[in-house]
Structure 1
């Protein structure tokens, strides 16, 4: 709300428009505006609500360039908070970046730092196709303030020590879409994630360092397109990969990353820490369902134990 008010003051009601709460209507209007030559930004209250409006993205915006032989595009940005960890249940705490990235020609961006949030948004605004820009609620100071004022004690669970705050450049430049960032170098295992999971991986890496384990941390930044080279380089160096992914495990990002590495011919021991079920309301069940530092540590320690074969998959239930 504060962001929209500031934009309204700066740009006026002709460019910043409120809408009725009908995601199918205002997302459809955004796609139509993009097809007409504008560059709209459509904001959803939560990414979970994209389900009632997915037709505009799936069957129109993402297919326009291919169907027109490259003559037409739909350059719009769909901005949406995502993720859980504060007790709002499975209809309000999903991530869905893997589901969205499954759609060809739909770019999916998930920043993990304030600097990348700004740089990737600039890149998204300049991109010639539809972009879904997902911001995890536990990395958003405005969301943390909103949730904290609601009296939900669960909001304090697993909020990263670093994340919502961080350095930003004096002069903003676009952050290239499709380029991952190596947040920490390591020789024993590569932790790969996106958004809030990067901060959990960094916390786990610091603990592992005290145990004599050198963990690399790769921040994908963009789910689609994937930076395959950076991932493969980190995994080839370590021989082990743990994907930390708050999105659903089945048919998702974690499995795609495993395929990318194996298709590159890299021998790797593989494990993943993902959400495997519908996210429950109950705090103790939610804590078990979502990735967290303790689950990451347990998975890495298990992976470091001697095991058969050079290419394997394991999971920490």
Structure 2
């Protein structure tokens, strides 16, 4: 199974889109990319959980790129807030995102489901992933990752799980079996991860984010249960057993889906996009740092 991507529009502008391909055909990264990597299981006790991850944001970059839930074929695009392209602030000492960031395909945090662990409803997005390898793939890349653990964040009253995982191509992959190995191999990264998620919206005037479990990371087996639950929620979504909550269900490969589209229809969708052109200039504040005041 070979994955690729095609860019449209001008980078850092509202026209920019990244469309994904699988074996040369246009597909939805939300619906058509398999969750479980080839030959991997569902995380039985003692076995690694290896999943496909869609990379949305490369480490040390600031543009808030994400899978579009509403657009047909769910391309990756930059978020827009109040008519402006969204860039994540540099919260000292971080420059942009401190890891590669993305999502697991075929998962969904149902906004009508009250999470039993957090007491809050889902955020209506695919399950988020923080990938900690030193390898930095471009946005739109599909990589295989080993799940290590998970953090339960509460973002503006919604459950927003953050899975910690590592690229299977990392040269030290054999050293990572569970969340405890992250602290052993990369001391301080987990603490910095909590701090980053706690404060990253503060420069925009938003409140400090909260966490369940006293800000503690849960292990791989706990993470596997969250993956399983969100995968089942996605199955209900694509089968229209749940309200689609404004999500485009257009897909190219799911045989029983009433929203399956042909490659001709997929190509028509891409044909309506602007051709790839040069990047729009970055904002002048892209290298400015925000310092978290004492007492926040």
TM-score w.r.t. the length of structure 2 is 0.27
Greater RCO (Cα-Cα under 8 Å, separation 6 or more): 2
More helix by share: 1
TM-score w.r.t. the length of structure 1 is 0.26
Which is greater in Rg? 1
